[in-house]
Amino acid sequence: QVQLVESGGGLVQAGGSLRLSCVASGSIFSIPAMGWYRQAPGKQRDLVARISSGGTTTYADSVKGRFTISRDNAKNTVYLQMNSLKPEDTAVYYCQYVGRRVYWGQGTQVTVSS
């Protein structure tokens, strides 16, 4: 069993920045792949960014060049640095852990005002 706790969401003006954190705990026996997804009201949950166990990163085209995913394996933590935020980035952001099965965090709200 793995638990994921997200933090760092909030309200920010367009053009501003936020950093999301996700701490994994529980039955962690190897370095996992992890990622961030987001879901706006009435929309499906879509990939924002992912990072492999080896550190390879992947980004959605809509956030490429603005968001950076990183990890601290010693702390079992993944981060999402979000810069140049746009109102279109408003969504609930979910942390994902890929191990023996896929785990999800509870989500953290990010709201970007015009």
Per-residue pLDDT of the chain (114 residues), as tens digits, is 899 999 999 999 999 999 999 999 998 877 889 999 999 999 999 999 999 989 999 999 999 999 999 999 889 999 999 999 999 999 999 999 998 899 999 999 999 999
- Written in H, E and C, the secondary structure of the chain is CEEEEEECCEEEECCCCEEEEEEEEECCCCCCEEEEEEECCCCCCEEEEEECCCCCEEECCCCCCCEEEEEEHHHCEEEEEECCCCHHHCEEEEEEEECCCEEECCCEEEEEEC
Tokens encoding 76: 């079992």
Per the structure block, which two tokens stand in for 90? Answer: 């408003």
